[in-house]
Amino acid sequence: MSYLDEIADKLGKENYHKLAKINNPKLHEFIARYVKLCNPDKIYVCTDSPEDIAYIREAAIRNGEEFKLAIEGHTAHFDNYYDQARDRKNTGILVPKGMDLGPFLETKDRDWALQDVHEILKDIMRGKELYICFFTLGPARSIFSIPCVQLTDSAYVAHNEFLLYRPGYEEFVRLGPNARFFKFIHSAGELDERKTSKNLDKRRIYIDILDDTVYSVNTQYGGNTIGLKKLAMRLAIYRGSQEGWLCEHMFILGVHGPGGRVTYFTGAYPSLCGKTSTAMLEGESIVGDDIAFLRKINGQVRAVNTEVGMFGIIQGINSKDDPILWKALHSPGEIIFSNVLVTEDGRVHWIGKDGDVPPRGINHSGEWYIGKKDAEGKEIPCSHPNARFTLNLRLLENLDPAIDDPEGVVVKGIIYGGRDSDTWVPVEEAFDWVHGIITKGAALESERTAAVLGKEGEREFNPMSNLDFLSIPVGRYIQINLDFGRDLENPPRIFSVNYFLRDKDGKFLNAREDKRVWIKWMELRVHNEVGAVRTPTGLIPRYEDLARLFHQVLKKDYPKEAYIAQFTLRVPENLAKIARVTEIYRTKVPDTPPILFEVMEAQRQRLLEAREKFGDYISPEAFGGI
């Protein structure tokens, strides 16, 4: 008896034939095992056909996980009040005895965790329908692509994935037994009267890197359940570390330069640090906003977006600062809004949206009104700070035509950015690849935001904005990044940005739109078309170049006083940062590459010499240009 024959009664004739068309016994074995364990009442196998995808969309409405809004194609979904962000405590990389990933990675004993999650999964889908869906990470028929199979009892989760990823059923059929695929098992578990996950004490998000499998149970929040997103990153990082390519928490942006030139940048920023708004800059073109695969091909770094959609934070999106997203979010088209405020007329509102906050509606807390407080006495905002929207990038008018290029785009620049109130200048170029990976990427810190459970505002160590998603030791990850650029004749330039620098009174020194100028300066730098000022920490813009760009891009003046305030070198804060970061690597990352300490010490010495000569706070005019 074949694996499919074992579950033929639950599959039915049509679904049986859909799976039988894929000649992959390992896939059939995986599906049969979890059908028998989870015990759904019925199964739906989704191919790439519009009819099958429509079935998923309609099931989310029929099951009550989503409901329709006033604008055609728009739906809303609510998660449990306490299921609104990535759950670090109950998320773990499964490791066998003897494997140590270091203190920053949450790990679980593999034998114990597999037993734990399989006990929870037993009969968890009884009374429900199981959706079996197929996708690819990256474009199909590409060296970048990874086939994926998702098993879930949540039509909401499956609906998200059909907006975010390329369909993969035909890719599985084409590859047959040669498919090396990632596997995802998810159950929302028992639902309450609002159709949200009920048993959060049994929430588990386990990543088995040895078996290319992700388990997610008793949760609906996208960051815990949309398996191909951050959960798949752990699988891809582990595979890439063995094969010599990178999976990074990066957008891919086409920056339009002089003469119709398009130059591609990737950028890594923690959540709520300007990543999506940079990927969506007016006048530029987006390839991706979140996750990139990077490979070295014919002496160049090339990148693809693993996704074709956006699962974005909606807080703060407004018509002035985000005109392209604003237009998409207010036009007909398939969009899921999660944990926003929904008014009686089927409209949505969120923190930072244009206009007054409606006095009442429904949100993640249930019936809502201004001034409502939760059980802890904390006032509940109209939408959750981590409220989201999901859409396909094809709804955006600035989508880059290279989105599905199987060869990817050539990367000329890499940007690291965080939420930093007192140290980094708004934009700075590293001296070289090694200096950039260490002082911009490996030294990245950011003030905590609502996207992660815990206290907001605390400064967090977050190398490459990827710490939450690593599945290899931090030191090894840093070394892999260092090695990645060393045999390239012209590696991408590395930059840092900081949109959150404040003055001594706490006032932001950057306007939100200033990032349009910083990106244009970086584009000119990678083509050696503007000079720079050499400081102890890197290369910063010359005033005259920025003044010209502010006129060209934003049609406004750029006072010399603003330049000096923004680009003053803050020596004490930079020295404190070096001390913090170096101490972390010295005490908590036992496999830190020795060159990291050498590069950080050299930067410390340059800062000390500058302080001796100019003082603690040094105007950019004190340094010479190049």
3-state secondary structure 39-98: CCCEEEECCCCHHHHHHHHHHHHHCCCCEECCCCCEEEECCCCCCCCECCCCEEEEECCC
**For residue 457, what pLDDT is reported?**
57
Give the confidence band of 451 by pLDDT, cuts at 50, 70, 90: very low
Residue 11: CA atoms inside 13 Å, Cβ hemisphere, count?
Answer: 23
Looking at the predicted structure, is the pLDDT value of residue 524 above 60? Answer: yes
Conformation bin of residue 333: beta by default, left when phi > 0, alpha when psi is -120 to 50: left
Q: What is the pLDDT of residues 371-410, one digit of tens each?
A: 999 999 999 999 999 999 999 999 999 999 999 999 999 9
User: Which range, 227-231, 264-268, 502-506, has the best average confidence (pLDDT)?
Assistant: 264-268
- CA dist 132 and 148 (Å) reads 11
- CA dist 324 and 391 (Å) reads 13
**For residue 449, what pLDDT is reported?**
53
Looking at the predicted structure, is the pLDDT value of residue 565 above 60? Answer: yes
Looking at the predicted structure, is the pLDDT value of residue 486 above 90? Answer: no
**For residue 149, what pLDDT is reported?**
98
**For residue 447, what pLDDT is reported?**
82
- CA dist 261 and 407 (Å) reads 19
Residue 77: CA atoms inside 13 Å, Cβ hemisphere, count?
Answer: 29
Q: What is the pLDDT of residues 400-445, one digit of tens each?
A: 999 999 999 999 999 999 999 999 999 999 999 999 999 999 999 9
* Mean pLDDT for the stretch of residues 129-155: 97
Percent of the chain with pLDDT over 90: 91
| Lowest mean pLDDT, pick from 30-39, 95-104, 598-607 | 95-104
Q: What is the pLDDT of residues 166-204, one digit of tens each?
A: 999 999 999 999 999 999 999 999 999 999 999 999 999
Looking at the predicted structure, is the pLDDT value of residue 454 above 60? Answer: no
- Give the mean pLDDT of the chain: 95
Tokens of 340: 């926003």
Question: Which residues are the active-site residues?
Answer: 273
Could you tell me if 519 and 253 are in contact, meaning their C-beta atoms sit under 8 angstroms apart? yes
Angle, helices 25-38 vs 8-20, to 10°: value is 160
Residues facing 267 on adjacent strands: 251, 415
**DSSP code at position 530:** S
Q: Which H or E element spans position 28?
A: helix 25-38
* Mean pLDDT for the stretch of residues 99-105: 91
Q: Which residue segments constitute the domains of the chain, with CATH numbers given?
A: 3-65+85-243 (3.40.449.10), 247-308+403-622 (3.90.228.20), 311-395 (2.170.8.10)
**For residue 453, what pLDDT is reported?**
46
Residues listed for the chain: 626
Looking at the predicted structure, is the pLDDT value of residue 620 above 70? Answer: yes
Q: Is the dihedral of CA 174, 179, 182, 187 positive or negative?
A: positive
Contacts 24+ apart (CB under 8 A), 94-99: 94/206, 94/207, 94/208, 94/209, 94/210, 95/209, 96/210
C-beta neighbour count of 378 within 10 angstroms: 8
Q: What is the pLDDT of residues 293-350, one digit of tens each?
A: 999 999 999 999 999 999 998 999 999 888 999 999 999 999 999 999 999 999 999 9
Give the confidence band of 626 by pLDDT, cuts at 50, 70, 90: low
